[in-house]
Amino acid sequence: MSKYLFLILSAFLLSISFTSALLVDADYITIFPGEQGTLNINVENNENFDIEEVSINLVLASVSSTGQIISLPFTVIGGNQKDLDDLDEDDDDSVSFTIKATSGIEPGDYNIPYVITYYEQGENEKLQSQGSFGIRVSAKTDIDFASELENNILNKQGKISIEIINKGLGEIKAVSVEIIPEGYELISKEKIFIGNIDAEDFDVVNYDVIFKNQNPTLSAKVNFKDFENKDQTEIINIPLKVYTEEEALQRGLIKKSNLSVYIITLIILIVIFFVYRGFRKNKNKRKKKEFSEE
């Protein structure tokens, strides 16, 4: 924003070099990137003489002390200069400009310099009055959501993840998510505070649950403050799918446990061991008996 500060400062320094006979009042408007708005400017003759050939020009570019051209991220549709009627003493007139912000403009507050030129009645010297007016570029809220499930098996503990995506051009602040269980039992806390999410960024919250229904719904309320610091609420309603263990095995979501196979195998080995041990004992007893009989 430092390059815009130069424009503002230049306009201010020039404006104090002249004794202005005019009072200028401009609307404070809010527009969005890539969109346009109508700016109304009223000019009043505040002197005790008439003024003629009044013209106002919006200054959207300037030359720095190094010779660099500095442009504001706005365009004026229909031209940036307009003429007003001649103004008698205590008279006023208004003009309108259609201003469009560039699509890549950074949201924030801007000052647009202007120059008004005129003649005092009966004089040949052109006079100037300079100043600036404020305009706000806001950011539309554009939020999207996505969900992801882990271990979504009926009557098992799993996880629901909610991704909050800020697709807008402005930061959203004080973001919090409150989940409303439908078809599952919530193990973790209901409300999670995230904080701020920058433009074109995202954040994720996770909830531990036990799924009680095969068709639960992810219902949640997302509260936040938009670029204008106004409270906003978005409601999430996303259908989810939960599977039985048999369905999960068929779909390859889980692998069949081999624990039972291991246990059975171990039991068989133990049985074989004891059978073999018993056989060996019996065999040794027979040998001893035969030896003693000899």
User: Could you state, in order of their start, the residue ranges of all structural domains in the chain?
Assistant: 2-137, 143-250
CATH of 143-250, picked from 2.60.40.10, 2.40.30.10, 3.40.50.720, 3.40.30.10, is: 2.60.40.10
User: Letter for the amino acid at 67?
Assistant: G
251's CB contacts (< 8 A; 6+ apart) are 243
Residue 109 and residue 138: Cα distance in Å, rounded?
A: 8
pLDDT at 19: 46
| 39-60 average pLDDT score | 90
Q: Using alpha carbons only, what angle is made at residue 159 by residues 153 and 161, rounded to the nearest 5 degrees?
A: 130
- Look up the CATH superfamily of 2-137: Immunoglobulins (2.60.40.10)
For 246, counting Cβ atoms within 10 Å of its Cβ (0-12 exposed, 13-18 middle, 19+ buried), the class is exposed
| 265-270 average pLDDT score | 81
- The sign of the CA dihedral 104, 110, 115, 116 is positive
CB 79 within 8 A of CB 68: no
Provide the token pair at 27.
Answer: 């609307």
What's the mean per-residue pLDDT of the chain?
85
pLDDT 10s digits, 247-258: 878 877 766 655
CB 191 within 8 A of CB 161: no
Residue 291 and residue 294: Cα distance in Å, rounded?
A: 5
pLDDT 10s digits, 173-189: 999 999 999 999 999 99
- The reply to whether 143-250 shares the fold of 2-137 is yes
Whether the predicted pLDDT of 191 surpasses 90:
yes
pLDDT at 147: 94
* Selected residue with higher pLDDT from 259 and 115: 115
* Selected residue with higher pLDDT from 161 and 2: 161
CB 99 within 8 A of CB 135: yes
SS3 66: coil
Whether the predicted pLDDT of 1 surpasses 60:
no
Residue 77 and residue 80: Cα distance in Å, rounded?
A: 8
Name the pLDDT band for 37 (thresholds 50, 70, 90).
very high
Provide the token pair at 251.
Answer: 């779909």
Name the pLDDT band for 261 (thresholds 50, 70, 90).
low
Percent of the chain surpassing pLDDT 70: 83
pLDDT 10s digits, 78-118: 989 999 989 988 899 999 999 999 998 999 999 999 999 99
Residue 162 and residue 178: Cα distance in Å, rounded?
A: 11
For 74, counting Cβ atoms within 10 Å of its Cβ (0-12 exposed, 13-18 middle, 19+ buried), the class is buried
Residue 265 and residue 249: Cα distance in Å, rounded?
A: 23
CA atoms in the 13 A half-sphere facing the CB of 8: 12
From 52-66, 103-117, 208-222, the region with the lowest mean pLDDT: 52-66
Residue 143 and residue 202: Cα distance in Å, rounded?
A: 9
The DSSP secondary-structure symbol of 46 reads -
CA–chain centroid gap for 44, Å, is 43
Name the pLDDT band for 284 (thresholds 50, 70, 90).
low
From 3-12, 112-121, 285-294, the region with the lowest mean pLDDT: 3-12
* Selected residue with higher pLDDT from 65 and 111: 111
CB 80 within 8 A of CB 61: no
Does pTM surpass 0.75? Answer: no
Residue 276 and residue 278: Cα distance in Å, rounded?
A: 5
pLDDT at 123: 85
